Structure 1
């Protein structure tokens, strides 16, 4: 395949062409200026020589002598050799030559313009005479007020050109140095550009940009590219959606900004961004041993976490139902045995008491909370609490009869608070109790969960709602209360931790303004 020129190669060729044209134009201009200067210098020289001869008393006396040629020819030839001019002609006013470089032309008429000189002025012209093309000047010779003769001094064009040719080596040298320096600068620039563009051509770079842009905007993972200075260089569409960053802005959520600023390498680290739980992975990017910055990839973990929470709830409820099935089987065997023993009344009382206890819990929860999803959540948590040996009680004054807050956010708050309370009291000394209060009024929805667990130290109450804080070690910890905080912040509500009603434990209270 025919190799295409890279951007650096094309730029180098273009620069060389432009520099060559500029140097050629400059050289041509310099030659023209030098030629003009040489012509002006020649004109000044012949004018000065002619005026010097015309003002010489010797020349004026010779012109009035019987044989002007005998006196003037040796004088003008000596002057011509001394001044480097090509001819000096002293003539009568009627153009008759008294002197000339070519002796055979003496006595013959002068070829050229003399009108202005006869009028007392000076003639300067380029004229092709007997010696060829030349620049000449004609001035009058005066004696008193009379013009008794004329002096013409000239330099041939060939002589002027020879003087210019003597300057050619210097001009050529300067031109060569200019071309060399310009070519060297263009080569260095193209070399740096080739290094920056990795030798790619315009079509390749255009195609690469189009492909990369299409990929960045179509991938289903958020991507944040950070340069060496820690500035965000690029965020793709999915990254803006996950981080909640509008187009044209780079205001990242606090936790994402902190992770980027740390520049640390991490894999699948949970990050909160608004009401989303994101899984972030960050690594350093390098090319040929140089650090280019970092790349942060983001995946939405919110829906997966919700599904995981629902699955854990189902598993807990299933385990609780299995335990209750065993308990129910034991009680049923007991009732049947009592019937076989003829103790029917006691069997009926035992069965009725068990049914009444279960129905009482259901009636209490359903009667207090008309929201079906929240009622189902509390019943499921009650079964989990029973399996763990924890007494979960819904406060009698709980009341939620309308959707003041969206169900999803309410389940997030209540579910995470109850889960934390159950974990706190599961390993505590008896009595192990959890009390739940969900109440609404015209202004707000109040959620309060109290437990008899070990409690939370007062100096860590604020930190408990930050992501990553937990009393237990392990992956996935320290997210529940941070989600509660996110919901409260989004609604402009409040959250607080206080000591429990008993001597131990904690009470977590969340207030959400009703909208």
Structure 2
């Protein structure tokens, strides 16, 4: 079923605002019109009552009732008052209800028409009523005429119902006109409001805003790094799943300084400065943070912080170093293999088959001798193959390598432990070789041993050595005498040993070489089985 397309927000806002305004004005108009009608009716009723009250006290009226007829002067006076006050009639009657005056002279002497006259004649009441008389429907005011304490007659002043209705409509017309103008102004205001809201929302519909918000939330939660957003006061307004897991729940609305005291965003909020890859401690964990200001127009409205546990990046770096070692070995092996292929190709070309046979047998003997030699100390095929290749590379570089050990290493089923030893041994051999560059004597003694559940690796070289006081400086990442962006190998090697629950030691004398010992427990191998 095809979904109905919704009207744009601008039209919906206008319709809702107009409907609300129309309903409000309609209700207000009805109430005001009703009030105006009552006021108009009351005003005319007061006019009739006032006229009747004044005439009831007039000496001319009292004299006419005493005489039993109205003279010409009284009739002219009442006619004048009736015209000037736009009254339907002014009727003077005796106690029998016989008219003494009437707008139509032929009606004088006849009985007053209407059942509403009994109250004033029989009980002497003053009141108003609506009734149909000889001149049509009207609103009537009755007043008794008292002379010396005795009622001698009554007077009735009538106002046409038609006049009352016209007067009411006239008073309500202003209300209707005002309501109409208010609606027009409301429509214009609704349009302006709708346009302003639309511009405020960057011409986006609510559905589009909702979709973009959901997409933003999804992207924010999919980011592996922790993400924190603050307002311009430094209060946390947004965190993703990683940040919440790291900082704890209920951080929204709190100051970042309270949640993470060592992390300052003053530079971002006040100076607009962006800081990337900056180390900050969060409790006992070192984080790599990046902080950037969030600006809208030319105004800084907050800051965005991303962070990641440094140890995770260290593990990635360890893997990259391992890959670099593998790649370097492959390049060396490829180069050596190509050289040997050239030699074999030359022997085949010259048909020196006897020499070719001897050469191939010597290669096979060298490889088997190397494998057999390391295999006596390391039973793990992967690690033994790696060490064999490393030793072959060192021998080709003119280094004399000697293997020692009373007890052999077992097969390492734990991949993490195997990778750790490859990282440690590879970096140790690289560092030892670089320490011997330029020296006449190049020797390495490798010892593979086992102390109960602990594997022991000892490397002694004839390199240039170093002062013991230099060790803390050398163990810093990125510190090396080999140039910029170097010196990670030694630090990663030490960090790998520490993470594996092992220990290490260095013994060195400048000019006399270095002895490096690594001890890593085997119990992690058992955990991984």
TM-score (norm 2): 0.60
Q: Distance in 2 between matches of 1:293 and 1:65?
A: 100
| Pairing 1:314–2:331 present | no
Deviation per CA, 1:147-181, whole angstroms, max 9, x where unpaired? 32122223223323443454456435532442243
- Structure 2 counterpart of 1:97: 99
Between stretches 17-26 and 286-295, larger displacement belongs to 286-295
Structure 1: unaligned runs, 5 residues or longer: 272-279, 330-351
Correspondent of 1:363 among 370, 376, 386? 376
CA deviations 1:29-62 (Å, max 9, x no partner) are 3222211221123223323332343344553343
1:195 and 2:207 matched:
no
> What is the rounded CA distance, in whole Å, between the counterparts of 1:391 and 1:122 in structure 2?
139
For residues 184 and 486 of structure 2, the distance between their equivalents in structure 1, rounded to whole angstroms, comes to: 67
The answer to whether structure 1 residue 132 and structure 2 residue 156 are counterparts is: no
Q: Distance in 2 between matches of 1:94 and 1:438?
A: 145
| Residues 246-325 of structure 1: pairs in structure 2 closer than 5 A | 311-318=323-330
Q: 1:422 to 1:133 in 2, by over 3 A?
A: farther
1:216 to partner: Cα distance: 6.0
Distance 1:446 1:28, change over 3 A: farther
Q: How much does 1:415 deviate? A: 0.7
Matches of 1:203 and 1:130, distance apart in 2? 71
Residues 200/45 of structure 1: CA separation in 2 closer, same or farther (3 Å cut): same
SS in 1 for 2:112: coil
Match among 186, 203, 209 for residue 182 of structure 1: 186
DSSP 3-state at the match of 2:14: helix
Q: Is 1:411 paired with 2:424?
A: no
Structure 2 counterparts to residues 495-514 of structure 1, below 5 A: 501-503=508-510
Q: Contact 1:317 / 1:383 at 8 angstroms: preserved in 2?
A: no
1:150 aligns with 2:162: no
The yes-or-no answer on 1:171 pairing with 2:175 is yes
- Aligned pairs for 1:9-408 (under 5 A) are 9-56=11-58, 58-70=60-72, 72-80=74-82, 83=85, 85-112=87-114, 113-117=116-120, 118-167=122-171, 170-195=174-199, 199=203, 311-318=323-330, 359-364=372-377, 366=378, 373-374=382-383, 376-383=385-392, 406-408=414-416
Deviation at residue 68 of structure 1 after TM alignment? 3.5
Q: Is the 8 A contact 2:497 2:520 kept in 1?
A: no
Q: Compute the displacement of 1:94 (Å).
A: 2.1
SS, match of residue 154 in structure 2: strand
On the 8 A contact 1:283/1:296 being kept in 2, the answer is: yes
**Change beyond 3 A, Cα 1:91–1:216:** same
C-alpha contact (below 8 Å) 2:48/2:159 kept by paired residues = yes
CA drift at 1:317: 3.2
Q: Label 1:242 to 1:292 Cα distance change in 2 as closer, same or farther (>3 A).
A: closer
8 A contact 1:414–1:447 mirrored in 2:
no
Q: Separation in 1 of the partners of 2:333 and 2:488?
A: 29
SS of structure 2 residue aligned to 1:148: strand
Cα displacement (A) at 1:137: 2.0
Residue 96 of structure 1: CA displacement? 1.6
Q: Following TM superposition, by how much is the alpha carbon of 1:186 offset from its aligned partner in structure 2, in angstroms?
A: 1.6
Residue-pair matches, total: 463
Query: Is the 8 Å Cα contact of residues 285 and 295 (structure 1) preserved in structure 2?
Result: yes
Q: Whole-Å Cα distance in 2 between the matches of residues 372 and 258 of structure 1?
A: 51
Runs of 5+ unmatched residues, structure 2: 253-259, 280-288, 342-364
For 1:145 and 1:156, the matched residues in 2 are separated by: 32
The 3 A distance-change label for structure 1 pair 130 and 195 is: same
1:90·1:152 contact (CA, 8 Å) conserved in 2?
A: yes
Tell me: CA distance 1:304–1:109, structure 2 relative to 1, closer, same or farther (3 Å): same
Q: CA deviation at 1:77?
A: 3.7
1:332 counterpart residue number: none
